[in-house]
Amino acid sequence: MDPSLARRDRRTAARVRSAPVTNENTRGASGGPSSGPPTGSPALTPPADATAPVRHPEAPAPGELLGAHYGQCFGCGGEQQHGLHLEARAQDGVRVTAEFTVKAAHQGAPGLAHGGVLATALDETLGSLSWLLRVIAVTGKLETDFVRPVPVGTVLHLDAEVTAVAGRKIYSSAVGRIGSPEGPVAVRASALFIEVKVDHFIDNGRPEEIRAAMADPDQVRRARAFEVNP
Ligand SMILES: CCCCCCCC/C=C\CCCCCCCC(=O)SCCNC(=O)CCNC(=O)[C@H](O)C(C)(C)COP(=O)(O)OP(=O)(O)OC[C@H]1O[C@@H](n2cnc3c(N)ncnc32)[C@H](O)[C@@H]1OP(=O)(O)O
């Protein structure tokens, strides 16, 4: 590489590393991730008749690990060798935290996490909020801001919460911070999840995986647990 280019790259890298943590990147008084700047998409703005999310009375206790909703899930499944192995933990309210370690297999550019992998980690963390509402929901829309590059080896600390509910529509947001729960914000997301019934998977999933899931009593219990109302 041209030595002047390499020097410029090093200066850019130093600037990124020393960038101040601005107010917009620090946590709000609620402790949740909703303190970031509003995102632009109208579909991610709750309608006027939306209500505050209600934590299910039988939701996992704050601090409890949620476990995988499906062993083969790319985001959280323990049986998925190529997966992200994200472990989410219930928090107060309708909020979860999760940690994701960026590995060499997650690179886009040399030494840096791929944006799609980071979006997956955000999607999975947001998806795990379903455990606290005890509904099954799938991602309808996911908007992601990539604020800082995330080097391989980073532990990304994710923090997600449901902000509003309108019928089947669940509005949520998340941030991912570098190195610690108080670290600089690297990624942000706003999402719209749509509540579905277990038939969504039975009707649409590839038959061989559906058959295997339905033959697994533990999987059936996990799926059905979401459909029990208070
Ligand atoms: C025993 C068997 C074993 C089963 C095991 C199961 C265990 C499962 C446990 C937990 C699973 C959780 C997995 C989490 C994984 C992480 C999260 C993901 O990656 S999920 C994968 C990616 N997402 C999708 O694949 C969705 C694909 N899309 C769809 O299937 C449909 O589009 C769906 C269900 C989202 C909506 O379709 P509609 O026909 O049901 O409903 P409509 O009427 O279209 O939408 C309802 C409302 O939502 C709005 N809406 C829908 N999509 C929207 C969008 N993209 N943008 C804005 N609004 C949207 C609509 O405008 C409508 O609003 P108005 O009620 O009219 O006000």
What pLDDT was estimated at residue 85?
95
Average pLDDT, the chain: 85
User: Does the C-beta of 194 come closer than 6 Å to ligand 1?
Assistant: yes
The SS3 assignment for 35 reads helix
pLDDT tens figures, 177-226: 999 999 999 999 999 999 999 999 999 999 999 999 999 998 888 887 77
pLDDT tens figures, 62-74: 999 999 999 999 9
What pLDDT was estimated at residue 28?
36
In order, the DSSP letters of 96-151 are EEEEEE--GGGBSSTTBB-HHHHHHHHHHHHHTTHHHHT-EEEEEEEEEEE-S--B
CA 169 – ligand 1 centroid, Å: 9
pLDDT tier at 2 (50, 70, 90 boundaries)? very low
Task: Give the count of beta carbons closer than 10 Å to the beta carbon of residue 77.
Answer: 19
pLDDT tens figures, 41-52: 899 999 999 999
CA 34 – ligand 1 centroid, Å: 22
Spell out a b/e string for 85-105, using b for 16 or more CB atoms within 10 Å of the CB, else e: bbbbbbbebbbbbbbbebeee
In the predicted model, what is the mean pLDDT of residues 1-7? 44
d(CA 211, CA 205): 10
Contact 80, 74 (CB under 8 A): yes
**Model confidence, pTM:** 0.87
**Helices assigned H by DSSP within the chain:** 3-18, 115-127, 130-133, 199-204, 207-214, 217-225
ipTM confidence score? 0.97
Phi, psi of 92 (to 5 degrees): -60, 160
What pLDDT was estimated at residue 33?
54
CA 141 – ligand 1 centroid, Å: 9
What pLDDT was estimated at residue 222?
80
What pLDDT was estimated at residue 197?
94
The fold of the 60-196 domain, in CATH, is: Thiol Ester Dehydrase; Chain A (3.10.129)
In the predicted model, what is the mean pLDDT of residues 17-35? 37
User: Does the C-beta of 69 come closer than 6 Å to ligand 1?
Assistant: yes
In the predicted model, what is the mean pLDDT of residues 72-85? 94
CA 138 – ligand 1 centroid, Å: 4
**For residue 143, how many C-alpha atoms fall within 13 Å in the half-sphere facing its CB?**
15
Q: In this prediction, what percent of the chain has a pLDDT beyond 70?
A: 80
Taking CA atoms only, the protein residue closest to ligand 1 atom 61 is 43
pLDDT at 18 over 50: no
Phi, psi of 57 (to 5 degrees): -60, -25
pLDDT tens figures, 100-145: 999 999 999 999 999 999 999 999 999 999 999 999 999 999 999 9
pLDDT tier at 40 (50, 70, 90 boundaries)? low
